[in-house]
Amino acid sequence: MSSVGCSEETKFIYYIDEEETPYLVKLNISPDVVTLGDFKNALNRPHYKFFFKSIDDDFGVVKEEIFEDSAVLPCFNGRVVSWVSCDQSSIFSGSHWYSRINCAECRYLS
């Protein structure tokens, strides 16, 4: 999670669901302080889960789910790597609860 050599710009490389080609978003926020909330605001995908490349002492490289908007994200060489997937559990949209929706419905609700 080292940010040594990181600039004031953070590059987010992210994959959506099962797509093979990643997307790229650049934010003018230092990687040392960029949060999940910053990333979520840039993507505007409210019904998705966010997993990030992270290092675990026991397992090495893992995909870590982060859900607190104030959490500072793991940065590697000025980049944050993420996997964004549809949250297929219950969600609230407007005045309705949706349970176990599929990803097509999730995209519609976004």
> Which CATH number belongs to the domain containing residue 47 in this structure?
2.40.240.130
Residue 62 lies in a domain: yes
Residues in the chain: 110
Q: pLDDT, tens digit, for every residue of 76-101?
A: 888 999 999 987 664 455 554 444 44
Buried b (16+ CB within 10 A) or exposed e, 34-65: bbbebbeebbebebbebbbbbeeeeeeeeebe
Amino acid 47: pLDDT: 80
- Give the Cα separation of 89 and 76 in Å (integer): 30
Residue 5 lies in a domain: no
Residue 77 lies in a domain: yes
∠ Cα 68 74 76 (to 5°): 160
Number of domains in the chain: 1
Residue 59 lies in a domain: yes
Domain interval for residue 81: 10-109
Residue 96 lies in a domain: yes
Q: Which residue blocks in 30-102 are alpha helix, DSSP H?
A: 36-43
Residue 27 lies in a domain: yes
Q: pLDDT, tens digit, for every residue of 24-79?
A: 999 999 999 999 999 999 988 778 899 999 999 999 999 999 999 999 999 988 89
Amino acid 110: pLDDT: 41
Residue 64 lies in a domain: yes
Residue 93 lies in a domain: yes
